[in-house]
């Protein structure tokens, strides 16, 4: 009976070992979905529909009011972060598989570090947009 209890009880080493990889895969897949669904719409609007006059573009004050709302800033920040993680992950494995770069730690640091720097830049830019929108 004690043998069965020992097999059913999880080992402490399995419980204490936390991995970051599932979170990276979650951000990677979220970025892929965001890129696949939202970027084509934005490209269509800003590259074709507005310049060709199919749809009248919103004026600057309206865009500033929409983009400067705190909820919109949070949504845009989340969108930018998952896109940056997605592109960093793709670029990392392109370097591994395509160019056969063997410095995995340095490559991962460069790719995800670049994504982190991009996220900081996006945060600073969006906070400045929020300040302009709120008239601070």
Taking the domains of the chain in order of start, what are their residue ranges? 20-134
User: What's the token pair of residue 72?
Assistant: 């919109």
pLDDT of residue 8: 60
Distance CA 90, CA 52 (A): 34
pLDDT of residue 32: 87
pLDDT of residue 1: 56
pLDDT of residue 27: 80
pTM of the entire structure?
A: 0.70
Q: CA geometry: angle at 21 spanning 20 and 25, to 5°? A: 125
Measured in whole angstroms, the distance separating CA 42 from the mean position of its chain's CA atoms is: 17
- The CATH class for the domain spanning 20-134 reads mainly alpha
pLDDT of residue 48: 94
Regions of the chain with pLDDT less than 50? 15
């Amino acid at each position: 009976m004690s043998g069965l209890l020992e097999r059913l009880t999880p080992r402490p080493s399995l419980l204490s070992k936390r991995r970051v990889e599932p979170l990276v895969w979650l951000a990677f897949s979220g970025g892929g979905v965001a890129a696949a669904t939202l970027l084509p719409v934005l490209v269509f609007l800003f590259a074709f529909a507005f310049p060709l006059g199919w749809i009248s573009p919103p004026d600057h004050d309206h865009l500033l009011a929409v983009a400067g709302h705190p909820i919109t800033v949070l949504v845009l920040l989340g969108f930018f972060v998952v896109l940056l993680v997605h592109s960093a992950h793709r670029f990392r494995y392109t370097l591994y598989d395509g160019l056969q770069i063997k410095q995995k730690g340095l490559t991962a640091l460069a790719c995800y570090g670049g994504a982190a720097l991009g996220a900081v830049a996006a945060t600073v830019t969006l906070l400045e947009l929020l300040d302009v929108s709120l008239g601070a």
